[in-house]
Amino acid sequence: MSESATEVETGAHEVRITLHGKMQTWVGFALDFLAKNETRPLVLHTLPAKRDKESGPEDADKDQVKRGLPPSTAAVPRLTSVVEIIKREFVKLDGTPEERTLHQYNEVGCLDEDEPPTADETGEQARRDALMKALEGKHHLRISKTPYMRVTLCRKEVPGLNATYQGAVAKRLSRSAKARAKKRAAE
């Protein structure tokens, strides 16, 4: 096998959680993926989509004015819900308890939004204009960071990951299920 094919099989598969997607689709895909791939992790994240070079920052600025929160921030509660549903449903799947454990790694961070200078403004002129705008006092400083969340789910522990670790969830039996199991064992 070539290096790229091996890298694809062992690298993490990333899924972007958005405000307009269907939770059922993400959960179904994640359960299938985790059931089929024992060693490959699944990364669910709210990172913004990569911008094309053809569509300039003008398009993004128009959308930003309409909304209060960036989409990557607003999708964090949805990401949390999707991850909790995946964990709950994965434990219910058939198999031994060792096969049905998930390890969760959470990472929260901020992306810097670097605005490329326009063709007529470069270097010193752009810096001077930004300084004059800030000193005028008419405009508030624009927030230039976008918070995001990334959750990695895998069936085996990943020791080198720099993120907070949440241990594997064990399948819990209700009291009535425990009583039935105890009764069957006694018979």
Where do the structural domains in the chain lie, given as residue ranges? 3-186
Look at residue 107 and give its three-state secondary structure: strand
What confidence score (pLDDT) does residue 63 get?
A: 47
Look at residue 72 and give its three-state secondary structure: helix
Only one residue has tokens 């907070």, namely 164
Task: Count, in order, helices (H) and strands (E) of the chain.
Answer: 7, 5
92 phi and psi angles, rounded to 5 deg? -75, -15
Look at residue 166 and give its three-state secondary structure: strand
Low-confidence stretches of the chain (pLDDT beneath 70)? 1-10, 51-67, 113-122, 137-144, 169-171
Q: Could you give the angle at which helices 76-92 and 23-36 cross, rounded to 10 degrees?
A: 50
Give 3-state DSSP helix, strand, coil % of the chain, rounded to 5: 40, 15, 40
